[in-house]
Structure 1
Amino acid sequence: MNTNTMPKEDKGLKNRHVQLIAIGGTIGTGLFMGAGNSIHFAGPGILLVYAIIGAMMFVMMRAMGEMLYQDPSQPTFIAYMTKYLGNRVGFFARWSYWLTTIFFGMAELTAIGKYVQFWFPSMPEWLIQLIFLAALTGVNLIAVSLFGEMEFWFSMIKIIAILALIATGLIMAFGHFQTPVGTVSFGNIFHDFSLIPNGWGNFINSFQMVMFAFVGMEFIGMTVAETKNPRQILPKAVNQIPFRVLFFYLGALFVIMTIYPWKQIPAHQSPFVMVFELVGLKGAAAIINFVVLTAAASSFNSILFSTGRNFYSLAKESRAKFLQPFAKLSKRGLPAKALLFSSLISVGSAVISSIPAISDAFVFVTSAATDLFLMIYIMILWAYWHYRKSSDYMPDGFLVKAPKLLVPLAALFFVFVYVTLFFNDSSRIPAIGATIWLVVFGFISSFQPKEAVVKD
Structure 2
Amino acid sequence: MLTSPPPADPRTGTPAAPQTDADTDTALPPGLRQRHLAMIALGGAIGAGLFVGSGVGIRAAGPAIIVSYVVAGLLVLLVMRMLAEMSAAQPATGSFSVYAAKALGPWAGLTAGWLYWSLLVVSVAAEAIGAADIVTKWVPGVPGYVWMTVFMALFTGSNLAAVRRFGDLEFWFAGLKIAAICAFLLLGALAVLDMLPGTADSPGTAHLTDHGGFLPHGWHGVALGMVAAVFAYGGLETVTIAAAESDDPARAVGRAARTVVWRICLFYIGSMAIIVTLLPWNSPGTDAPYSGALETLGIPGAAHIMNAVVLVALLSAMNANIYGSSRMLYALVRRGDAPRALGRVTGGVPRGAVLASAAFGFVSVLLSVAWPETVFPFLLNTVGATILIVWLLIALSQLRLRRRLEQEAPERLVVKMWLFPYLTWLALLTIGGVLLMMVFEAESRTQVICTGIWTAVLLGCAWLKRTRAERLAEQLLEA
Is 1:3 matched with 2:20? yes
Which residues in structure 2 correspond to 1:38-77 (within 5 Å)?
38-77=57-96
Q: What SS does structure 2 have at the residue aligned with 1:249? A: helix
Q: Name the CA distance, whole Å, in 1 between partners of 2:188 and 2:337.
A: 57
- In the TM superposition, residue 37 of structure 1 has moved relative to its aligned partner by 3.3
Using a 3 Å threshold, how does the CA distance of structure 1 residues 23 and 433 change in structure 2: closer, same or farther? closer
* Match in the other structure for 2:442: 425
Deviations 1:169-197 (A, max 9, x none): 22223336699986332454356884422
Shift of 1:127: 1.6
Letter of the aligned partner of 2:182 in structure 1?
Answer: L
Counterpart AA for 1:400: M
Higher mean alpha-carbon deviation, 175-184 vs 247-256, is at: 175-184
Could you say which residue in structure 1 is the equivalent of 2:268? 249
Work out the CA distance in 2 between the residues paired with 1:91 and 1:271.
38
Write out per-residue CA displacement over residues 94-143 of structure 1, whole angstroms, 9 at most, x where no aligned residue: 22222222222222222122122121223222221111111101111111
Note if 1:414 corresponds to 2:431.
Answer: yes
What is the distance in 2 between the residues matched to 1:363 and 1:93?
A: 22
Q: Which of 348, 352, 357 is residue 333 of structure 1 equivalent to?
A: 348
Q: For the Cα contact (< 8 Å) 1:45–1:194, is it kept in 2? A: no
What are the within-5 Å matches in structure 2 for residues 174-253 of structure 1?
174-175=193-194, 183-189=202-208, 194-253=213-272
| Alignment correspondent of 2:6 | none
Corresponding residue for residue 299 of structure 2: 281
Pair 1:299-2:313 in alignment: no
CA contact (8 A) 1:140 1:305 kept: yes
**Aligned-residue offset at 1:443:** 3.1
Q: Once the two structures are aligned, what percentage of the paired residues are identical? A: 28
Q: 1:300 to 1:263 in 2, by over 3 A?
A: closer
Residues 343-386 of structure 1: CA deviation (Å, up to 9, x unaligned): 12221123113214x53331122132031111111001111111
Alignment check: 8 A CA contact 1:12 1:145 kept: yes
Q: After TM superposition, give the deviation of residue 67 of structure 1 in Å.
A: 0.8
User: Cα gap change, 1:136/1:24 in structure 2, threshold over 3 Å: closer, same or farther?
Assistant: closer
Give the structure 1 partner of residue 363 of structure 2: 348
User: Quick one: distance in 2 between partners of 1:380 and 1:175?
Assistant: 45
**What does the per-residue CA deviation read over 1:142-185, in whole Å, with 9 as the maximum and x for residues that have no partner?**
11111111111221122112111111122223336699986332
AA partner of residue 348 (structure 1): V
Residue in 2 that maps onto 1:377: 391
- The answer for the alignment partner of 1:360 in structure 2 is 374
2:373 aligned counterpart, secondary structure: helix
Tell me what 2:159 maps to.
140
In 1: Cα distance, 2:203 partner to 2:151 partner: 40
List alignment gaps of at least 5 residues for structure 1: none
SS where residue 43 of structure 1 aligns? helix
Does the Cα contact within 8 Å between 1:10 and 1:144 map onto a contact in 2?
A: no
The 2-side partners of 1:371 and 1:408 are apart by 20
What is the rounded CA distance, in whole Å, between the counterparts of 1:452 and 1:388 in structure 2? 29
For 2:108 and 2:54, the matched residues in 1 are separated by 36
314, 336, 353: which one aligns with 1:318: 336
| Structure 2 CA distance for partners of 1:84 and 1:363, relative to 1, 3 Å | same
Report whether the alignment pairs 1:83 with 2:102: yes
- Determine the C-alpha separation between the residues in 1 that align with 2:134 and 2:152: 15
> Residue 38 of structure 2 contacts residue 260 of structure 2 at CA under 8 Å; is this kept in 1?
no
Shift of residue 271, structure 1, vs aligned partner? 2.5
Are positions 1:448 and 2:465 aligned together? yes
Verify: 1:27 aligned to 2:46, yes or no.
yes
Q: Is the 8 A contact 1:41 1:198 kept in 2?
A: yes
> Which residue, out of 428, 452, 456, partners 1:435?
452
Give SS of 2:312's match. Answer: helix
User: Which segment is superposed worse, 193-202 or 294-303?
Assistant: 193-202
- Distance (Å, rounded) in 1 between the aligned partners of 2:116 and 2:265: 28
Change in 2 beyond 3 A, CA 1:326/1:132: same
- The aligned residue for residue 397 of structure 1 is 414
Distance of 1:267 and 1:278 partners within structure 2: 9
Maintained 8 Å contact 2:29/2:348: yes
The 8 Å contact of residues 59 and 286 in structure 2, kept in 1 or not, is answered as: no
Measured in 2, the distance between the counterparts of 1:393 and 1:374 equals 30
After superposition, the Cα gap between the structure-2 partners of 1:345 and 1:27, relative to the gap in structure 1 and judged at 3 Å, is closer
CA contact (8 A) 1:22 1:220 kept: yes
Q: How many residues align?
A: 448
Question: Given that residues 178 and 184 in structure 1 are in contact (C-alpha distance below 8 angstroms), is that contact kept between their aligned partners in structure 2?
Answer: no
Q: 2:113 aligned with 1:94, yes or no?
A: yes
- Superposed CA offset, 1:241-273 (max 9, x none): 45224421121121223323x345436532221
- TM-score w.r.t. the length of structure 2 is 0.86
- Which amino acid counterpart does residue 376 of structure 1 have in structure 2? V
- For residues 22 and 246 of structure 1, the distance between their equivalents in structure 2, rounded to whole angstroms, comes to 13
Distance 1:216 1:295, change over 3 A: same
Distance change in 2, residues 1:264/1:429 (3 Å): closer
